[in-house]
Amino acid sequence: MKHFLSAAFIVALPTLSIAEVTVTSPWARATIIAGRPGAGYLSLTSDTGDRLVSVSSPIAGHVMLHSVESGESGVSRMVHLDTLDLPAGETVSLAPGDLHLMLMQLTHKLVEGTSFPLTLTFETAGEITVEVPVLGIAATGPEDTE
């Protein structure tokens, strides 16, 4: 009887999958002074669906996830998000003027040509740490070479 249960369990294992999240194109803009928040961007894809529940970095007192919403008057404002849902198989991009990370209470200014670690925590996939390159102050994405 033990062998039957073991074999049944082994056969069932392939159907148990842990969500995998892929992080691509991380980048941040350089900052002029440490006292001002920085902004970070990246793209997230979850094969089975997941939720981003927190973000941290040793270079920031805290990292906040913001969306940008436009009111009826056409004025845009940043709105803090506690979590970010990642639908299965869809890429969610954080980009200037849209979803983005705010790096608050920086320990030092972000200097173009350097990089820093960023840890993203997902509900299912757990922690993923990526190295974030710092681009120029006017950069619009990782393809910029300024």
pTM of the full structure:
0.82
- What per-residue string of b and e applies to 76-98 under the rule 16 or more CB within 10 Å gives b? eeeeeeeebebeeeeeeebeeee
CA-CA distance, 20 to 15, in Å (whole number)?
Answer: 14
According to DSSP, the residues that pair with 84 across neighbouring strands are 52
pLDDT of residue 144: 65
pLDDT of residue 7: 43
pLDDT of residue 65: 97
pLDDT averaged per 10 residues in sequence order, the chain, 146 residues: 43 50 97 91 96 98 91 80 96 95 96 98 96 95 68
pLDDT of residue 19: 61
Contact present, 103 and 35 (Cβ < 8 Å) = no
Q: What is the DSSP letter of 52?
A: E
pLDDT of residue 33: 86
Name the CA radius of gyration of the chain, rounded. 19
